[in-house]
């Protein structure tokens, strides 16, 4: 009795780029859920987030605007993260917007202080690399 084995398939470049897009998209969906949990548990947790922001207008704006209605802004953050994650998971042209959103999110996050840079800089290196690989595999519009 002989056994026929299917050839072992390695991940091709397009499927690896989709994997990166799926992981980042899923991460942003999960983080949207985290922010929903934070709002539900107590939105005052956001109070000190901007205490070490790089610019005074960010610190005062955070306290005067965001902390005036932290639940609303926490839910807006959640909606933005879920939207960016969903765009990445949908793929195609939507992924282009999704990649721009997650990269812009991390760039803007950096104004909240040098402490955020420890996360944002490595994340930006990874995100731009994943985005470049993924976008190079997407079909160009005709």
Does the pLDDT of residue 59 top 70, yes or no? yes
**What pLDDT does residue 142 have?**
40
Write down the number of H helices and E strands in the chain.
Answer: 5, 0
What is the largest distance, in Å, between two alpha-carbon atoms of the chain? Answer: 77
The arithmetic mean of pLDDT across residues 123-140, rounded, is 89
Per residue in 62-78, pLDDT (tens digit) is 999 999 999 999 999 99
Per residue in 71-129, pLDDT (tens digit) is 999 999 999 999 999 999 999 999 999 999 999 999 999 999 999 999 999 999 999 99
Cβ partners under 8 Å of residue 111, min gap 6: 53, 54, 55, 58
Report whether 88 contacts 34 (CB < 8 A).
Answer: no
pTM attached to this predicted model: 0.84
Q: Which structure tokens are listed for 8?
A: 């072992």
């Amino acid at each position: 009795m002989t056994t026929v084995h299917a050839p072992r398939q390695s991940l091709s470049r397009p499927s690896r780029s989709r994997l990166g897009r799926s992981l980042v998209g899923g991460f942003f969906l999960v983080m949207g859920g985290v922010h929903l949990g934070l709002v539900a548990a107590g939105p005052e947790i956001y109070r000190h987030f901007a205490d070490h922001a790089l610019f005074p207008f960010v610190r005062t704006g955070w306290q005067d605007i965001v902390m005036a209605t932290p639940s609303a802004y926490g839910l807006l953050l959640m909606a933005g993260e879920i939207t960016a994650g969903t765009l990445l998971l949908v793929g195609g042209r939507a992924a282009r917007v999704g990649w721009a959103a997650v990269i812009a999110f991390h760039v803007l996050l950096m104004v909240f202080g040098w402490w955020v840079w420890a996360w944002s800089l490595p994340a930006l290196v990874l995100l731009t690399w994943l985005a470049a690989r993924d976008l190079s595999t997407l079909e160009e519009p005709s």
